[in-house]
Amino acid sequence: MTILWTAKYLDGSILPQQEPNGSTNSYHDIDRDNLEAFILHWPDGRPVAVIDFVDDSSGDPDIGPKRLIWRKRHNQGSNGTHVSITLAGWQRTINGRNVQSILYINEQTGAVVLGGQWQEDRPLMHAPAIKEFE
Amino acid sequence: MAATVEIRKLTGENSSITSTDVSSGSLQYGTSDEATSPSPIPVPSSGSNYSYWVTLQLNATAAPDNALDNIKFYTDGTNSLGTGVDGIVATASGYASAVGTAGTSGSLLSTSNHDGLTGSPSPLFDYSSGCKLSVSGSIGATTGSFGDRVVSQFNVINTAGAGNSPEETLTLEWDES
């Protein structure tokens, strides 16, 4: 079962990945400047995780804003096995250093792993190809 | 909304490539250029016999919302194929037909024999989940094949035993957005 996202904005409005009429919104379309929370949920609406984007820097200029990252990562074995995970979280610049906090959610089991920095030497926890707006 | 991606095995001549979905079945290596059930690799009395190289590429049959990218390839990092059997792998920006002497040995996978390789092949089992082979390429919100090809080959020397080698799992990963 696939995990969907819904972006919740500071003014209370939302942008769901999948609208009630079946149409979809793109990850690129999220208004990152007004994001309050990024909600991950099952198709029936049951929540899986909520990632908070409210400014927690207390005005410290050395702490940059959280920048949303989301991907669906697929792992296909030649023996027919397929694992898909949703990775979502944020990266931000703190004292000139880029740091991340990422959730890895197994879509088959619902298990959630909270990761920190990208780990190139760990299964499924390597960095994505970062997009310009991230 | 969600992309559908297959692993395709490419066979045939450059002018008429056959693309076969191998996502859900086993992938066999042998001494003929066939999508499934190639001829076995004979154990040589000396030297090496090679499989025909196998070319894999991802193919999106349902488009993503934005992109498919960040392709990785790896094995479990341990050669469990038995004595006298090993493998190599490289990425390729272009396709080249697998060639050799059918039923006996494929030609060695090398930049000399495959002009689409992006570099010299490396030992297959050097790549594991902790040390992945990066595969260039991506696709936007559309369908079709994408990314460089992953080309691999097994070789057999005279110390190998007769019969089918144990199974190994090759893994491809990619990101969807």
What would the pLDDT profile of A88-113 be if each residue is shown by its tens digit? 999 999 999 999 999 999 999 999 99
- Is the CB of residue B85 less than 8 Å from the CB of residue B153? no
The predicted pLDDT at position A18 comes to: 94
What would the pLDDT profile of A30-79 be if each residue is shown by its tens digit? 999 999 999 999 999 999 999 999 988 888 999 999 999 999 999 999 98
pTM: 0.94
Q: Do B171 and A17 touch (CB under 8 A)?
A: no
| Alpha-carbon gap: A60 to the closest alpha carbon of chain B (Å) | 32
- Which residues on chain B are in Cβ contact (under 8 Å) with A129? 69-70, 138, 175
Q: Which residues of B2-13 are buried (b: 16+ CB within 10 A; e: fewer)?
A: bbebbbbbbbbe
The predicted pLDDT at position B15 comes to: 93
A42: Cα separation from own chain's centroid:
14
- Is some CB atom of chain A closer than 8 A to the CB atom of B167? yes
pLDDT at A123 over 90: no
B77: Cα separation from own chain's centroid:
16
3-state helix, strand, coil in chain B (%, to 5): 5, 40, 55
Residue B8: closest C-alpha in chain A: A78
- Which residues on chain A are in Cβ contact (under 8 Å) with B69? 128-129
Q: Report residue A127: phi and psi, to 5°.
A: -70, 145
The predicted pLDDT at position B1 comes to: 66
- Is some CB atom of chain B closer than 8 A to the CB atom of A57? no
- Is the CB of residue B38 less than 8 Å from the CB of residue B31? yes
Residue B136: closest C-alpha in chain A: A129
pLDDT along chain B (177 residues), means of 10: 91 95 90 92 96 98 96 96 96 97 97 97 97 97 97 97 91 96
- Is some CB atom of chain B closer than 8 A to the CB atom of A17? yes
- Is some CB atom of chain B closer than 8 A to the CB atom of A28? yes
